[in-house]
Structure 1
Amino acid sequence: MRKWVLAIAMIAAVPSVGMAADAEAGKTVFNKCKACHQVDKNAVGPHLGGIVGRKAASVADYNYSEALKKSGITWDEAALDKWLQGPSKDVPGTKMIFPGIKDATDRANLIAYLATLK
């Protein structure tokens, strides 16, 4: 019984991808991305406008890694959450050198913000 209570408490403490996220708070988390990404044009990384629902490595005029081109990823909430935990762990060989966002709430808020970008 004690193990079940502990397991339930641990699950309840971890925000899920489908949780109610705060896009406005995600806009602040996006500051971590701005060194390489913009909303409306390619920079060091591809633009992130319209990323939710887009196939990975599909932005025109951006030179993606072969690993990302072959990944078959479509950027939905679950794929973005996994990617944002550590891009090189998710897709070994990616050009994106970023340690990831460890906090699940920050990731959920960032994904909510990215979903607002068109």
Structure 2
Amino acid sequence: MRYFPLSVALATFPLFLAATPLFSPATAQQARPPAFAVCAGCHSTQVGKTAFGPSLHGVSGRRAGTLAGYAYSPALKASGLTWNAKTLDRWLTDPRKTVPGTKMPFNGIQERKAREQVVTYLLTL
């Protein structure tokens, strides 16, 4: 094995740091789980891009029914929900049971593991 003098190692270390990101996009945002496909039909994950449903970018910590530029149901606006792991899980289990009167035409994700993956993904957006 060939060893380099400490001075060479120290001189090249800044180059190594410059070429190595401190975090990759994959750690900043988890990979999109397959179960999210049912969401992607109506929702964008891009900032400000509203589709049939509102953008889900930045949903974590957002009060339900407040994203500007989307016409929410009065029921969702009045729900008092703030999106976090618990409320997203409940919502994705059965939106119409969670907020009676919502206009979201979705029956929910019944498989717990798939729902957890979607919730975890949403919290990274």
Matches of residues 1-118 of structure 1 in structure 2 within 5 Å?
A: 23-24=30-31, 27-40=33-46, 41-117=49-125
* Structure with the larger RCO, 1 or 2 (CA within 8 Å, 6+ apart): 1
The gaps in structure 2 that reach 5 residues or longer are 1-29
Shift of 1:116: 1.4
Counting matched residue pairs gives: 94
SS of 2:123's partner is helix
Paired position in structure 1 for 2:16: none
Look up the equivalent residue of 2:38 and give its one-letter code. K
* Gaps in structure 1 of 5+ consecutive residues: 1-22
Q: Identify the range of structure 1 (65-74 vs 28-37) with the bigger mean alpha-carbon deviation.
A: 28-37
Structural RMSD (CA): 1.0
The sequence identity of aligned pairs, in percent, is: 47
Deviation sequence 1:38-59 (CA, Å, 0-9, x none): 1111100000001111110111
- One-letter code aligned to 1:104: R
Deviation at 1:115, TM superposition (A): 1.3
Q: Could you tell me the TM-score, scaled by structure 1's length?
A: 0.76
